[in-house]
Amino acid sequence: MYNTETKEKLELSQIRQLFTSGFKPADTHKIGIEYERLPIFADTYRAVPYDEGVCSVLRTLAKEDNWDYITDDFNIIGLKQNHDTITLEPGCQFELSLEPQFTIKNLEEKINTLNKKFAPVLDKYGIKLLEYGVSPVSTHKSISLIPKKRYHIMARYLWGILSDVMMRETAGIQCCIDFESEEDLMKKFEISSKLTPFITAMFANSPIRGGVYTGYKTFRALSWLNTDNERCGFAGNLRKDFGIDDYINSVLDSPMIFIKRENLPIQINGRITFRDFMAKGFEGFEAAMEDFELHANLYFPEVRMRNFIEIRNHDCVGKGLQYSLLAIYKGILYDKYAMAEIEELMKDFSTRDLTELRYNVPKSAMQAKAGRFTISEIAPKILEIAEKALIGGGYHEDDYLVPIKEYVEKGICPADVIIRNWHSLWDKDINKLIKYLSE
């Protein structure tokens, strides 16, 4: 049934080339965004199923704005237009992935243009895209997976008590960063890994789930803590001497979920690691580069290494905060002096401190403690460093920090405002939450 032949034996040098192919001169570095939003019905706020509107939205957008279909077994699972894509996450979350740009303003303009094109189509089907980190009304038990084979295999394999929540209910924002050399890559990888618990807390935006207050400020981050620890968390435990080869080894040593042959899945379900697969094969199949690329995409550390750096663990936010997020990372990671200042700021935090912080952030966010300090004490310093770098960049991108500064100056995050209103002005009225998030 399957062709088990492979063109050539996969070598570690080929895998390494996958990452080093991302080396680019500093003056060509851009910033990218992967921006997930939650499709909900405008009247009931229930999550929109694939067959009850999401597929129709994709069809209509393709027809009216000349997008190409992305399919899986003839099912439409996304759209592509030049270098931009709209794809569906497992629970129908809309992910917009744009061609990276030199400036945040260019990304903002592109998103605004697309939002204007999306608006009449979404209105036609009574749908709105919510900028929030977790489904506000529907829970995973009532959210069906989209018809994409990969997601059904993942759902059966991924372990952890909240893996279904992570897959079907949550929406986040990822920031994509370039690098010029292995040294630059590893410095940015280390710094962004150390920053993620702080930034996750600053942008926490998912306290209400299933119509009730959860007791957490980012339920999305909690769901990741309770999903398959063999492929999530900090890659390399934040070691100073961590390099590309160490990252590759961490991917090689993680259990495999499946491979594809002739566009059909061959399920492995954790029986071997990729290292085993390279050495011994699996049921007559030998490792190919496409297998490693698939496997690496099923590895979910806080910061993921590709031919760019993908910084992953942030709740979806709106009201301009999505651009604040990009501005922080751009200001710090594209300025050598800013990176040095962050290294100095982070030097007293051990891996244990940062790991404990990662576990405390979902509940406490800005009040979570790293060593002797709360995040509310460290966050203003992070913003100050990013702002100084952005001012020197010449694009006036420090203006994008204004929305997040308003929270950080008060020692709070977006979830704190929602929680306060939920228990007072809104009187636990879900209508008022959705109105607030949609303003």
- Confirm if 219 and 362 have CB atoms less than 8 A apart: yes
- Confirm if 182 and 20 have CB atoms less than 8 A apart: yes
Predicted TM-score of the model (pTM): 0.96
Kindly state whether residue 414 falls inside one of the protein's structural domains: yes
Domain with residue 105: its CATH number is 3.30.590.20
Kindly state whether residue 433 falls inside one of the protein's structural domains: yes
Kindly state whether residue 364 falls inside one of the protein's structural domains: no
What total of structural domains would you count in the chain?
A: 1
Kindly state whether residue 284 falls inside one of the protein's structural domains: no
Kindly state whether residue 415 falls inside one of the protein's structural domains: yes
Kindly state whether residue 419 falls inside one of the protein's structural domains: yes
Say what the pLDDT of residue 31 is: 98
Kindly state whether residue 273 falls inside one of the protein's structural domains: no
Say what the pLDDT of residue 318 is: 98
Dihedral over alpha carbons 133, 45, 434, 326 (to 10 degrees): 30
Kindly state whether residue 256 falls inside one of the protein's structural domains: no
316 is in which domain, residue-wise?
22-241+301-344+372-438
Q: Burial of 222 by CB count in 10 Å (0-12 exposed, 13-18 middle, 19+ buried)?
A: buried
Distance of CA 244 to CAs 184, 187, 295, 423, 429, Å?
A: 11, 11, 16, 48, 49
pLDDT in tens, the chain (439 residues): 556 555 578 999 999 999 999 999 999 999 999 999 999 999 999 999 999 999 999 999 999 999 999 999 999 999 999 999 999 999 999 999 999 999 999 999 999 999 999 999 999 999 999 999 999 999 999 999 999 999 999 999 999 999 999 999 999 999 999 999 999 999 999 999 999 999 999 999 999 999 999 999 999 999 999 999 999 998 877 777 899 999 999 999 999 999 999 989 999 999 999 999 999 999 999 999 999 999 999 999 999 999 999 999 999 999 999 999 999 999 999 999 999 999 999 998 999 999 999 999 999 999 999 989 999 999 999 999 999 999 988 789 999 999 999 999 999 999 999 999 999 999 999 999 999 999 9
Say what the pLDDT of residue 7 is: 52
Q: Which are the contacts of 375, defined by CB distance < 8 A and separation ≥ 6?
A: 197, 198, 201, 202, 357, 361, 365, 366, 367, 368, 369
Say what the pLDDT of residue 5 is: 55
